[in-house]
Chain A
Amino acid sequence: MAKVNVLSEYCKSCGLCIAACPKKILAVGDKSNKKGYFTIICEDQEKCIGCALCATVCPDVAIEVYK
């Protein structure tokens, strides 16, 4: 059991997490934050393995990982 939580007000949708995720479960969502970025969402939490690579590469410290 693992979970990623995107702190959407910090997210700038740069896409580094999408590229880093080994399970390819992150994607650009269709909701924008206050700054106007369409922030990242996890499309399939069930598949998350809690490796935290997404959070490691996130330059805006916008991802929390639970395991």
Chain B
Amino acid sequence: MEKIFGRSKGLTDVPFSFCPGCTHGTIMRLIAEVLEELEIIDNTIGVSPVGCAGFSQDFFSCDFVGAAHGRAQAVGIGIKRALPDRMIFTYQGDGDIAAIGTQHAIHAAARGEKITSIMVNNAIFGMTGGQMAPTTLEGMKTTTSPYGRDIETTGFPIDLPRLVANLPGAVYVAAVSVDSPKNINQAKKAIKKAFQVQMAGLGFAFVSVLSTCPTNWGISPVDSLQWLRENMMPVYQMGELKVTEEVKSL
């Protein structure tokens, strides 16, 4: 018999430190497999943020730099400008990239920075224990919106991929999910494309991945997938939001 599925060389041997059922691990697996398939593990530098996604630095077998909260893209841009032939990716949660670090996301896209950014959107601040994020859904209960997110006083969930897709320097923007085997495979294709865009030097590539947080949502891992499908997917625009002609011809 032949091994048809196993741990990618893009991952270290370190077990993920996430809570059981958290799909952060699924997304990391996809990235690791993409790095291996594109043969860029030893030419890639990842940038980890603050939050649960920050643990990523221990799990990938490529070089990593740990950034301050929200600053992963600025750090990644600094690395890329110093070493333009290296592949740079940031792995950031929604609280990191869509709240405290939004300015860097917007300007990375506006300048067409040749980096790849992966946003993991679970609609909550996970690491700090389940506070409201800018991506928290209307009516969703968190520790800082204990009565449900009130649009009147706390505003609307931010759909960062749509915002970024409007900027000319962003050449590939996709919003995907890891709630089912089919969507997981779609997500991998999008992540792969986002790295190929960088390898071709075309511009800023951004993939948002809807993810679960069973612990802070307070539901089981299996039910979390269903919750994501029923509640998050209708709010956030899904699919390839932007694919420029150059990217199509890759």
Contacts and interface: CB of A to CB of B under 8 A. Distances in A.
Interface in A25-67: 35, 37, 50, 52-53, 55-61, 63-67
B205 to A, nearest CB: 24
A9 B16 CA distance: 11
B18 to A, nearest CB: 7
A10 B23 CA distance: 14
Interface residues of B, number: 30
B21 interface: yes
Nearest to B21: A14
A64 B15 contact: no
Contacts of A13: 20
A1 B4 CA distance: 12
Nearest to A64: B6
A19 B24 CA distance: 18
B181 A57 contact: yes
Contacts of A66: 1-4
A65 B5 CA distance: 5
Contacts of A37: 20
Nearest to B16: A60
A16 B25 contact: no
Contacts of B98: none
A10 B15 contact: yes
Given A2-B1, A64-B5, A59 B18 contact: yes
A34 B220 CA distance: 22
A53 B176 CA distance: 18
B225 A67 contact: no
Contacts of B2: 66-67
Nearest to A16: B221
B80 interface: no
A16 B180 CA distance: 10
Contacts of B26: 57-59
Given A37-B20, A61-B8, A66-B2, 9 more contacts: A10-B16, A12-B20, A14-B214, A16-B225, A57-B180, A58-B26, A59-B16, A60-B16, A66-B4
5 contacts: A14-B221, A15-B221, A56-B184, A61-B29, A64-B6
